[in-house]
Amino acid sequence: MVKLRGQLSMVMLKRAKGKAEVLKRAGVWAVPFVIGSEWAEEGLKEEAVKQKVICVVDGKIEPSRSDWEQLEQIVAHWKPS
């Protein structure tokens, strides 16, 4: 699930996560993913990672590509049972 916007907000994170949760329950492997130019609020990047949502902000992926273990954990989290 990908959502494109200028500013990334908590609402966007919740929507992306919610859609991925519905798809996971339906047996679909969908990773929540949002893309924007900036964060609407301070602390949202940390909240996104905590909620297992991958973000691209101003061309930079979070969690960082250098932290493959964390990226793998996020992707594995969304794999249907």
How do residues 28-43 score in pLDDT, each as one tens digit? Answer: 999 999 999 999 999 9
pLDDT 10s digits, 9-32: 999 999 999 999 999 999 999 999
List 62's β-bridge partners, or say none: 55
* CA–CA distance, 31 with 37 (Å, rounded to integer): 20
* CA–CA distance, 42 with 18 (Å, rounded to integer): 22
Average confidence score pLDDT of the chain? 90
Please give the model's pTM, rounded to 2 decimal places.
0.85
- What's 80's DSSP letter? -
| pLDDT(5) > 90 | no
